A and B are shown apart, each in its own frame.
Chain A
Amino acid sequence: MKLRKISAAASAAVVLALTATACGSGSDSGSNGDKINIGIKFDQPGMGLKTPDGTYTGFDVDVARYVAKELGYPEDKINWKQAPSAERENMIKNGDVKYIVGTYSITEKRLKEVDFAGPYFVAHQDLLVRADDNSITKVEDLNSKKLCSVAGSTSAQNVRDKLAPKADLRQLGGYSECLTGLENKSVDALTTDATILAGYAAQKEHQGKFKLAGLSLSDEKYGIGLKKGDADLKGKINKALEKMISDGTWDKLVKQHFGPSGYKNDPAPKIAG
């Protein structure tokens, strides 16, 4: 019976601790104060990643920082918000964020809901393979392979419906789970945008283990998502992006984030305006 009392006390303590932290982490909403809310991905190395010490790194994050600076918001005025793929349109529509820089491909369906500035980067779907594996050189090779991608992603659907319908496609919850399979040889390749793959290949714990196959399986134009009809903001962001490309910051950032993986990027895209 003594045990029961102890466990009750322990569970009460846990509940208290949880509520206390919940109170502590409250954040101010609304993007119209002197701070700006920006949506990014928190879980994609190389593009948008929240590090364990609470800072944010990645190409998307640096682009977002640069644009914010041009709009008049220095680093300490930025509220970073996580923008998971399924929630991006609603976050923009509800005004939770001013804009989203998070591997956000410009598609027709999305243009019905939000506007895009940019594109600021053109990525291609590619494959990540083990460093000693040279068996994939063209699309046709995929049909006999075991591939892995994130469930529901555009890349997974591309492989399944168009590129290699006969390939054995494993759909998992996240890229890191696929990487475990790739390392243990239960899958042959991980497929998604080359930018994301490059981010994983360049991570310290993965360096030298994996490489990009170098196939361009699709074109993904990354844009900065913002509220539909906000032509003023769109113009400002486009101007900032143009400046970023012309003053050499773009090249520097690309080299910094994708360089270590040997990823050959496309030249900077033309801003649509």
Chain B
Amino acid sequence: MFDFLDSGQYDLLGAFWVTAQLALYSAIGSLIWGTALAAMRVSPVPLMRTFGTTYVNLVRNTPLTVVIVACSFGLDQTLGITLGADSSEDIGFRLAILGLVAYTGTFVCEALRSGINTVPTGQAEAGRALGLSFTQVLTLVVLPQAFRAAVTPLANVLIALTKNTTVAAAIGAAEAALLMKDMIENEADALFVVFALFAFGFMVLTLPTGLFLGWAAKRLAVKR
């Protein structure tokens, strides 16, 4: 049943390794970008608030495929922006990370904002009363607690992100979904095995993430 895997024709682990890398880099990128967006959305500067709100609502409601394909179409093929990569596979990989960060950042932002809402307003007011600036209140008082409260929603975002990396196959990043397309084309007699194999592969990636972060969420939660 799995004999097509022994032919040496497919690099299954390699493909899932690219998926894991995509997920990891995008996760780091979107955590940074999402935090920046959240900071903008709670900042006292109206212009930044407007930008944050508009960006989040615009990108969050655009299908991911459109975002990713737009990166390939608009940036690479039309404007020639390749993010310093030479080969097509690298271009696809980097542009996919860009698209995933732009998209997932909005969800990180909203998860963080929900975390910020768990911090009693009195704390921010107390900080201001002590003479702390907005940045100080945010980074020293509010965000550390917000992150601890937002672990569970952030874990959801991370799991969704891991699965969303499959969309990167649309612009030629050599990850798991692309290999699956190869297999579907060649192994017409084992389609369900192929699907099951990839479903299993993604569970191997996401289940431990979910379990670990669920445990971490309990440990880190601020007891009030």
Contact = CB atoms under 8 A, between A and B. Distances in A.
| Bound pair (A, B) | yes
A172 B72 contact: yes
A177 B78 contact: no
B98 to A, nearest CB: 17
Interface in A166-187: 168-173, 177, 180-181, 184, 186
Nearest to B184: A86
Most buried by A among B77, B86, B91, B169: B77
Interface in A158-205: 161, 168-173, 177, 180-181, 184, 186
B123 interface: no
A57 interface: no
A109 interface: yes
Contact of B171 (A110, A154, A169, A172): A172
Contacts of A110: 188-189
Nearest to A114: B188
Contacts of B169: 151-152, 171
Contacts of A177: 69, 72-73, 77
Contacts of B89: 169
B172 interface: yes
B88 A168 contact: yes
Nearest to B178: A151
B188 A172 contact: no
A157 interface: yes
Given A151-B172, A157-B182, A168 B87 contact: yes
Question: Interface range on chain B: under 10, 10 to 19, 20 to 34, or 35 or more?
Answer: 20 to 34
A171 B172 CA distance: 4
Contacts of A207: none
Given A177-B69, A181-B77, A184-B78, A152 B178 contact: yes
B189 A152 contact: no
B6 interface: no
A184 B77 contact: yes
A157 to B, nearest CB: 6
Nearest to A174: B170
A151 B80 contact: no
Contact of A170 (B172, B181, B184, B189): B172
B211 interface: no
Contact of B69 (A86, A151, A168, A173): A173
Interface string B164-201: 00000111101000101110111111010000000000
A186 B178 contact: no
A171 B91 CA distance: 11
Task: Please indicate which of the listed interface residues A146, A157, A186 has the most CB atoms of chain B within 10 Å of its own CB.
Answer: A186
Contact of B77 (A86, A151, A161, A186): A186
Given A170-B92, A184-B77, A109 B187 contact: yes
A151 to B, nearest CB: 5
A184 B182 CA distance: 27
B189 A109 contact: yes
A74 B69 CA distance: 41
Contacts of B9: 161
A114 B172 CA distance: 30
Interface of B: 9, 69, 72-73, 76-78, 80, 86-89, 91-92, 169-172, 174, 178, 180-182, 184-189, 191
Given A157-B185, A169-B89, 8 more contacts: A86-B181, A86-B185, A151-B170, A152-B182, A168-B86, A168-B88, A170-B91, A172-B171
Interface of A: 85-86, 89-90, 107, 109-110, 112-113, 146, 151-154, 157, 161, 168-173, 177, 180-181, 184, 186
Q: In the A-B complex, list the 5 residue pairs whose CB atoms are closest, starting with the nearest.
A: A152-B181, A170-B88, A171-B172, A173-B170, A112-B189
24 contacts: A85-B184, A86-B181, A86-B185, A89-B191, A109-B186, A109-B187, A109-B189, A110-B188, A112-B189, A113-B188, A151-B178, A152-B182, A152-B184, A152-B185, A154-B186, A157-B185, A168-B88, A170-B172, A171-B88, A172-B72, A173-B69, A177-B69, A177-B72, A177-B77
